[in-house]
Structure 1
Amino acid sequence: MKILQLIDSLDAGGAERMAVNLANGLINVVDASHLCVTRKEGILKQSINDLNYYLFLEKTGKFDIKAISSLISYVKKNEIDIIHAHSTSFFMATIVKRFVPELKIVWHDHYGKSEELHQRDFKVLKFFSKSFTHIISVNEQLKTWATKTLHCKKVTYLENFALPDNHKPETSLHGKNDFRMICLANLRPQKDHFNLIRAFKKVSVTHDLWTLHLVGKDFEDTYSDEIKSLINELKLEEKVYIYGSRPDVNNILSQCKIGVLSSKSEGLP
């Protein structure tokens, strides 16, 4: 069996990390384990175990003919049996299937707002789900939703998992040992860093030694600017630190005493 993981980017997000973990984890389990990134490379490329089975399409638009043709050629040349499409990459997988009818599609649903499924726009997904052989959901809510809503009979709940992080330690955190708190999350509104920073301000009044460390992709957008402004406004410049994406996650976590999430919603098990 030959399987190809299909993902939009290699930024350090949950879906992206799972795609890389699956590609790495299946190397000694199936005949060939491939990974294809459609739109953007990122920090997780460093985590890919075998770049001989890696394809980057440099897709520039929804209907990028060159990218689609490249993926079709790759699937045919490498005799791929299954495309394991993560999140929105299902669209490209179904296009490829039109040219390779025997191809099977497994769609992995990483939707992070599982408490707000009534707001999900799923018309396109529902139409293309007719082409899915199997759906994998990261929590029970998503599994129930897929079973009731989409056109695929086989739906499985599979918890996200982690693999050992073998990256060389390179990040040294500010602050004192035993007094570090960490939030490992990309700087996105869903993660609600504002709530976390305001809460930390209250804690720091009576726990002066503690520092807060924000590790995750900084998109350098309005949300990011507002976070930095809040840190300055609350005079936390020497207590709250932003690091951006970092590959040596285990090393970073080993330097911290408390891990915290303040997300509005999470696609947790």
Structure 2
Amino acid sequence: MRVLQVIDKLNVGGAERIFVTLSNLLFQKNINVDVLIFINNGKLQQDLNNKINIIDFQRQSKFSFKNAKQLSLILKNYDIIHTHMRHVFRYVKVVSLVFNVKTKIILHDHSSNTKKIPFLLNSFLSPKYYIGVSNNLKEWAISTLNIQKKFCFLLHNVVVSIDNCDEVKKKEGAVVVGNIKPDKNQLFAIQLLPQLNTSLTIIGQIQDIDYFNSLIREIEKLSLQNKVTFIHNEFNVQKRLNNFQFALSTSIRESGPLVLIEFVAQSLPFIAFNTGEISLILNKDLPNFFINNFEQQKWIEKINNLKENNIDLKSIYDKNFAPNLYLQKCLNIYKEILNS
């Protein structure tokens, strides 16, 4: 079985991390896997196993006939084309139709948006094989994209736990992890600080400069300049998590969120707004870690109750998110598709 993993670029983001993790896991399992990236040199490309073959394909334009022809010749060498994200799938699908590529193409959907249907994705460019990272996405694909139920698969996100060997003498403060933009709602975490006797570290790249500036203004308004720290260029968050007492996840809308897996992998207690598939899974074991509103006082109460936490978070990670379980689920999906 020859597998090609395809994505547009490897900047820091949840879908990109899954792409890297899955490619590495497949390679470690001795699966014949190559990767194709439309635009090279993203920050996460350095995390790919350096023995994985990266196909030399530099797309100049999605309207380039030369690039499309080049891609079609590449696609024909594989049994499975595993595309990540909707816009990547659409481009690969168009190329396969124009140049009569018969290879089986999967759309691995990492989106949290089930309200908007991407152009032609429910008709001419509808995928035959679909992987959603949540049940919500899977049901949306069946009902809205008209994909056969037997070819719609669920594959929850995964994080490979890293060993934190550095001993921390004293854990201090709270941490919020996520690229800086309105959906991540870091503003709410900042507004909680005056009622908490602690500091806050916000880890994430700036994706919306206007929103970032609004955070700075709020920090100044609340006189929290000495309490809030930003870290913008951290690409291995897990190694820092051992420094903190607890984490907050204030995102308004997520398909994951992937960061919750990182928290349990590093045994870091957290309070999170209840959104996304990972929240649904963890809520079964950690109901007191989740909240369904943005009422400040309710969050403060939840945070204060974390001091009484003595749950073995690492065992919850091993039970739900072990990489070997994730890989086997993916291989089972490949097998079903190849046998169809």
Q: How many Å separate the matches in 1 of 2:72 and 2:9?
A: 19
What corresponds to 1:222 in structure 2? Answer: 210
TM-aligned CA deviation for residue 155 of structure 1: 0.6
The letter for the 2-side match of 1:149 is T
TM-score between both structures, scaled by the size of structure 1:
0.83
1:142 aligns with 2:141: no
Asked if the contact 1:2/1:30 (under 8 Å) is kept, the reply is no
Rate the CA distance shift 1:257–1:50 in 2: closer, same or farther, 3 A.
Answer: same
Aligned CA-pair RMSD: 2.6
Q: How many Å separate the matches in 2 of 1:110 and 1:31?
A: 23
What corresponds to 2:194 in structure 1? Answer: 201
Rate the CA distance shift 1:181–1:60 in 2: closer, same or farther, 3 A.
Answer: farther
Q: How many Å separate the matches in 2 of 1:218 and 1:228?
A: 12
What corresponds to 1:20 in structure 2? Answer: 20
TM-aligned CA deviation for residue 124 of structure 1: 2.4
Equivalent position SS for 2:38? strand
What corresponds to 1:157 in structure 2? Answer: 154
Rate the CA distance shift 1:184–1:151 in 2: closer, same or farther, 3 A.
Answer: same
Asked if the contact 1:12/1:245 (under 8 Å) is kept, the reply is no
Asked if the contact 1:72/1:96 (under 8 Å) is kept, the reply is yes
Equivalent position SS for 1:27? helix
Asked if the contact 2:176/2:202 (under 8 Å) is kept, the reply is yes
The letter for the 2-side match of 1:35 is V
Q: How many Å separate the matches in 1 of 2:65 and 2:248?
A: 43
What corresponds to 1:112 in structure 2? Answer: 112
1:126 aligns with 2:114: no
TM-aligned CA deviation for residue 234 of structure 1: 2.0
Instruction: Tell me which of 166, 171, 189 is aligned to 1:178.
Output: 171
Rate the CA distance shift 1:220–1:261 in 2: closer, same or farther, 3 A.
Answer: same
The letter for the 2-side match of 1:96 is V
Correspondences of 1:62-81 after superposition (within 5 Å): 62-76=62-76, 79-81=77-79
What corresponds to 1:85 in structure 2? Answer: 83
Aligned length: 252
What corresponds to 1:9 in structure 2? Answer: 9
What corresponds to 1:260 in structure 2? Answer: 248
Rate the CA distance shift 1:186–1:74 in 2: closer, same or farther, 3 A.
Answer: same
TM-score between both structures, scaled by the size of structure 2:
0.67
Structure 2 residues not aligned, in runs of 5+: 256-275, 278-340
Q: How many Å separate the matches in 1 of 2:152 and 2:32?
A: 24
Rate the CA distance shift 1:23–1:228 in 2: closer, same or farther, 3 A.
Answer: same
Structure 1 residues not aligned, in runs of 5+: none
Asked if the contact 2:9/2:39 (under 8 Å) is kept, the reply is yes
Q: How many Å separate the matches in 2 of 1:168 and 1:106?
A: 38
